[in-house]
Amino acid sequence: MDFNMPEDVEIMRTTIKKFVEKDLEPISQQVEEEARIPDEIVQKMRDLGLFGLAIPEKYGGLGLSTIAEIIVYEEITKTNACFRSRIGTSNGIGSIGIYYDGTEEQKKKYLPRVASGEWSAAFALSEPEAGSDAANIKTTAELDGDHWVLNGMKHFITNGDCAHLFTTLAVTGKKESGRSEITAFIIEKGMPGFSIGKKEKKMGLKGSETTQLLFDDCIIPKENVIGGDAMIGQGFKTAMRVLDKGRLTMGACALGASQKLLDMCVDYAKQRVQFGKPIGQFQMIQAMLADMATEIYAGRQMLYHAACMRDEGRKITREASMAKLFCTEMASRIADKAIQIHGGMGYMKELPVEMFYRDVRLYRIYEGTSEIQRMIIARDLLKD
């Protein structure tokens, strides 16, 4: 596979780099402290088309290839991770299920709003009893004449507070095997019986909202099943396909953060003097830098390779899990070394190293823990 990027991908990379340097990085600390992204920055993201990265041009998006999208996320996660979370959740797991399996009518109705950034989207799968065991959700949806009635709750929902559209998974029956039959719905903010619950206080990603969603006899039109009647009971597969792609994105976030940390460490190792010389001249520091760079090189190859496979229309379930597993575990190792290289300064809020350390920890958990990625990889290896 050839990683010589087409010119338009490189132009995109340069545009995002400039946006990060000029607009995002200067307010990274402010966003961390205020736990919100200023409206004018969200507007700039809209103006750049970032809310429609992966959405086809036909529906108002930029229609980027997977590899181009991965590169955008790699660049944008070199600063505060919540900027990526705001856009990536919306045009990624929040709405991509509609693109995959929605009816043409649903695509035309919802995707342009998401692509323009007028509406944000969220993905509502997780529940207190259904984290890794995603099929164990308890939220139910019952058909009552011309509408569905949803009851239950979701938690740990990224973009919960700012989203207008929620791709929501609910149980609509039981299969012969005894397992739940799961259907994917489009829920709009303001639908009767739907409300936003508790806002979570988190270890990191402070500028990204994480909330509960409450469904109390929530009434939604019959036509809001993603894909229409033919897709009733098929929602779990939609969710799994959504997560395949999401896992590549997580890998890209981990890669961007890792590269940024390495760059900071190299700079610091050149200028921090101890025992009369820059610490970069000590072999123990050199070994850490060399290991970081080597892992990043490996992680980038895996991720770009999996992205190119997806662009070729190939199934990427195993490769996406491998890339997520490797890159996210790598990011934690690298963040740990980055604190060590920066010593006491690495532990201080004056530098962003400790923020990265906290933020990258989440990547090993959300959109499937490392343990779930290993399970998916092993199942694929062992299947008939």
Report the interface residues with ligand COS, using CB under 6 A: 123, 125-126, 132-135, 236-237, 240-241, 243-244, 317, 366-368, 372, 375-376
Give least dist CB 128 to ligand COS, A: 13
Question: Is the CB of residue 184 less than 8 Å from the CB of residue 141?
Answer: no
Q: Of the two residues 173 and 278, which places its CB atom closer to ligand COS in the complex?
A: 173
State how far the Cα of 354 lies from the Cα of 351, in Å rounded to an integer. 7
In the block, which residue shows the tokens 């009518």?
Answer: 105
State how far the Cα of 364 lies from the Cα of 97, in Å rounded to an integer. 23
Give least dist CB 361 to ligand COS, A: 15
3-state helix, strand, coil in the chain (%, to 5): 55, 15, 25
State how far the Cα of 361 lies from the Cα of 257, in Å rounded to an integer. 11
Give least dist CB 211 to ligand COS, A: 13
CA 371 to each of CA 142, 208, 248: distance values in angstroms, whole numbers, following the listed order? 33, 25, 16
Q: Of the two residues 259 and 332, which places its CB atom closer to ligand COS in the complex?
A: 332
Show the beta-strand stretches assigned E in the chain: 121-124, 140-144, 147-158, 165-174, 180-188, 194-199, 210-221, 273-274, 277-278
Q: Which residue in 142, 295, 367, 371 is the catalytic one?
A: 367
Would strands 147-158 and 140-144 be described as parallel, antiparallel, or unpaired? antiparallel
Q: Which three-class secondary structure state does DSSP give residue 221?
A: strand
Q: Of the two residues 160 and 346, which places its CB atom closer to ligand COS in the complex?
A: 160
Give least dist CB 15 to ligand COS, A: 28
Q: Which region holds residue 190: left if phi is over 0, alpha if psi is between -120 and 50, else beta?
A: left
Q: For this structure, is 367 an active site residue?
A: yes
Give least dist CB 188 to ligand COS, A: 20
Among all residues, which ones are annotated catalytic? 367
